[in-house]
Chain A
Amino acid sequence: MEQPSVPNAQPTAAERFIAFLDARVGLKEMQAKMLNEPVPGGSRWAYVFGSILLFLFLMQAVTGILLMFYYVPTADHAYASTQYIIHEVDYGWFLLSYHFWGSSAMAVCVVAHMSQVFLWGAYKPPRELLWVVGLALFGIVIGFGFTGYLLPWDQRAYWATTVGVEILDKTPVLGDFMARFLKGGPTPGQLTLSRFFVIHVMILPAALMVLAGLHLFLFRVASPAGPFKGTPDEIKAKTDYFFPRQIWKDIVGMAVVFASICGLTFWEPVVLLEEATPDPGDYHPEPEWYFLFYFQLLRFKMFSGEFGQLLGAVALPVAFMVLLVALPFFDKDPERNIFKRPVALISWIVVMVIMALFTVSAVINREFLD
């Protein structure tokens, strides 16, 4: 682009300020490096989920910090302070519900992001570590969901935690220790709430920030994988930079997600159940919708009894995660086209169908309980 030639134009104050910063920080070069990342084969809608997750996390951080202005993490005030946020504080219901639906959105986008990477074969060498760190981030997102919904200290919170910790307790040898460690005692109470609070607002955010930074760093070192078909020349011909086309798609994706969360916030704002107590009354304990498939799975006869529980509560999820971690280390075939990887495609479809079916059957089961 031609510089407009205005003779003897004095730089404005804003321009001088930016020049001052740039000379000391190297802003322009940094900005150029951020934006000028080649996207092999060109921008795609399929690539938006990583950016959306970053956006979702930032919004969770903002709304979470705001909730802490009123929330009190004690067994005698957690419920009352959450009710206060919902009913008394201006827009408290909005921020709390946004935070709630934001966590659902994170669960959805994490699965979408992982699916995209899996289907595109982008986990394959040399991106093994990128994939492994991504799985750790997936674990952190689950941890956020699990620790987060104890905090309102209502019946849903109490029972989800009771069952969740009992599942952890089934781990051989260390299970009892880990469950007591997490609960801060033999049964859920104040110390459980304190621990979950610290994990939710300090430990997991710190871990997520470090690992997300590492994830981005590894992503930039490895460079984007690009499309799974096309010759190098075709890919090169379509390559563009991160800015503007991919950023445009990302920001549209973020806007859609933001609008969806706001919509859910208005139509389905968070409503607390009764205050937590070891007597469930008429309440049928049930986890958050994105854990329903696993909840339903534990109902199966094959996961009954002591051994069955070990299988369902520990062995199955651990084996699944180990398989995902090991994936790029044994799947070294450079073929990335998903239509030439029948085992990968079928496995993905099977996992998705099972999750969908189990979720639906858990919902159907509700009717038979009353």
Chain B
Amino acid sequence: MQPKLKSRVRCTDREIGEVSKVVVDPLSHEISHIVVSMNGSGERQVAMGHVQAVAEDLVELRAPSSDIVALPPFKRDDFVTTHEVEISHLEDNLHVMPGEVLVPLPALEKDVKRRTFFMNFTNAIGFLIGLLMAFPILRYLMKPMYLPFDNAWLKVGNVGKIKQEDIGVQFEYKKKIKEAYMPEYEVMKNIWIVKATPALLEKVYKGKDIEFRDASGNALWTNKKEIPYVAFSGKCPHLGCGYKWRRHKTLGQVFLCPCHLSIFDASGKVLDGPAPRPLDALPMRMSADGEVEIIDMEFKAGTKSQVRII
């Protein structure tokens, strides 16, 4: 049993006062001391070790009153109240109040039936509101996610600037973008065109023309295996960075992606690094004077097969 506030305190010889405060150990959360108010002659802090027995309204000490009186006066400033300190669960196992403190329920709350029903009903209505909002919100945010493919031909430059075979040459071009509500604007993009020797062409085409189809599967364009120029999308098939034509210590002239160091030869084949597929050849057509047009396709990066996204 724990000592209670207002309990009388009795020493071996006589009663000396009542419990005015209790002191709790911050670690064990147990009462470590009681503070005894000595009937008007000050307070003493008495360790629980001195307590012989605790009854309903009485704390019996195992020391004579002279010992208790001889203790130094209680120093209030060495303590804080439980309201002024943050020790969670401090009061959980304390019963120091002189009894339970009760507040009566309002009259209207006394015999309410179906409390659980009302609680569940409240939750159900809330859930329903959320549910009705969920689909419109999802659709609202999904509006621009999927766009039809753009199969327009874009001018990218003249192959006349390619002076050497089996070398990657970058062609930068501007693409007009009309996005949602934005005014039309231009972005810079690039592709790489290789003027291929027959051996390199064979590595690219492996004896077959490359066919391109639109979203519904209709033939869109065929890159003929006899045309000695190949256009590669400027986007690295690993994670979508822009790769470059560089000299490599051991592999010679290669396409090198500076991001994750994928390396491709002039035919687009992966020589080293993490790329999962060769460079993406684009549909390309050329006028008699060497002006090149492409369909600006982009494919998902990181997949073994080509998955077109625009």
Which A residues lie at the B interface, using CB under 8 A?
1, 29, 32-34, 36-38, 40, 74-76, 159, 162-163, 166-167, 169-170, 176-177, 180-181, 183-187, 189-191, 220-223, 232, 235-236, 239, 241, 277-281, 284-286, 295, 298-301, 303-306, 308-309, 312-313, 365, 369
Contacts and interface: CB of A to CB of B under 8 A. Distances in A.
Contacts, number: 160
A191 B187 contact: no
Chain B interface mostly helix, strand, loop or mixed? Answer: loop
B182 interface: yes
A166 B240 contact: yes
Contacts of A369: 246, 256, 258
B80 interface: yes
Contacts of A170: 302
7 contacts: A38-B87, A163-B240, A189-B177, A232-B27, A306-B304, A313-B239, A365-B261
A223 B241 contact: no
Contacts of B298: 186-187
Given A75-B185, A313-B239, A369-B246, 17 more contacts: A29-B84, A40-B27, A159-B242, A162-B239, A190-B182, A191-B179, A191-B180, A223-B87, A236-B26, A236-B27, A278-B190, A279-B188, A285-B241, A295-B260, A298-B239, A305-B274, A305-B276
Contacts of A181: 141-142, 145
Q: Across the A-B interface, give the 7 residue pairs with the lowest CB-CB distance, nearest first.
A: A280-B242, A304-B274, A32-B84, A284-B258, A279-B188, A186-B309, A36-B85
B258 A299 contact: no
Nearest to A186: B309
Contacts of B172: 279
A316 to B, nearest CB: 13
Contact of A187 (B86, B88, B304, B310): B310
The CB with the most chain A CB atoms within 10 A, among B80, B145, B300, is that of B145
Nearest to B80: A36
Contacts of A76: 182-183, 185
Given A75-B182, A190-B182, A180 B187 contact: no
B27 A163 contact: no
B157 to A, nearest CB: 13
Interface in B260-281: 260-261, 273-276
A205 B235 CA distance: 34
Contacts of B240: 162-163, 166
Contacts of A166: 239-240, 301-302
A312 B302 CA distance: 12
Interface string B235-250: 1001111100010000
B241 A163 contact: yes
A236 B240 CA distance: 58
A38 B26 contact: yes
The CB with the most chain B CB atoms within 10 A, among A167, A190, A308, is that of A190
A280 B258 CA distance: 11
B188 A304 contact: no
A197 B266 CA distance: 40
A33 B141 contact: no
A279 B170 CA distance: 10
Contact of B84 (A36, A169, A236, A300): A36
A305 B85 contact: no
B146 interface: yes
B162 interface: no
B161 interface: no
Contacts of A190: 179-180, 182
